[in-house]
Amino acid sequence: MSIRQPCPPGACVCNREQLLETPGADLRILQLTRQQEKILLDRLESLKSLQDLEHMQQRMYEQLGIRVHIAPGHTEVKSMRGIQIVIDELPGMCRKTRQSIPTAIRRGLEKRPEIAYRLLDAHDLFRDT
């Protein structure tokens, strides 16, 4: 199994070394090499449907332990920025990865706005319209 190379010293707060030293720790996130991360981000940017997005969320959790929550924000949703994308804390996850996954998902939603509409509809925001 190949694992992600460490970030340059001081560049990240992923606690990779502590994770590696913890007996019985979930090391799945370290399987996300930089090349695998690029493939994941490309895939998130080319979402095809809400079901596809939900499938990707499930696969990220199953394979890497990444739990991503996507929902309309607490205020009015006027753009893709109004959709809240939260990643649970996960030791070993690079800071840049934590930022790039939501960005890739937003790009995917911008390319296919109907996915965002289905997401909003799934949360009953169009109930009274």
Q: How confident is the model at residue 129 (pLDDT cuts 50, 70, 90)?
A: very low
CB atoms near residue 14 (< 10 Å): 22
Among 41-50, 77-86, 105-114, the least confident range: 77-86
Residue 56 clears pLDDT 90, i.e. is over it: yes
Residue 101 clears pLDDT 90, i.e. is over it: yes
Are 94 and 7 in contact by the 8 Å Cβ rule? The answer is: yes
Radius of gyration of the chain (CA): 16
Q: What is the pLDDT of residue 41?
A: 98
Q: What is the pLDDT of residue 100?
A: 96
What is the overall mean pLDDT for the chain?
A: 87
Helices vs. strands in the chain: H and E counts, helices first: 5, 2
Q: Phi then psi for 104, rounded to 5 degrees? A: -65, -40
For 12-33, the pLDDT digits (tens) are: 888 888 899 999 999 999 999 9
DSSP string covering 47-110? --SHHHHHHHHHHHHHHH---EEEEE-SS---SGGGEEEEE---TT--HHHHHHHHHHHHHHHH
Neighbour-count burial of 16, counting CB atoms closer than 10 A to its CB (0-12 exposed, 13-18 middle, 19+ buried) = buried
The structural domains of the chain, with segments of one domain joined by +, span 16-126
Higher pLDDT, 7 or 90: 90
Can you tell me the distance from the alpha carbon of 109 to that of 129, in angstroms, rounded to the nearest whole number? 22
Q: What is the pLDDT of residue 79?
A: 53
| Mean predicted confidence (pLDDT) in 95-109 | 94
- % of the chain surpassing 70 pLDDT: 87
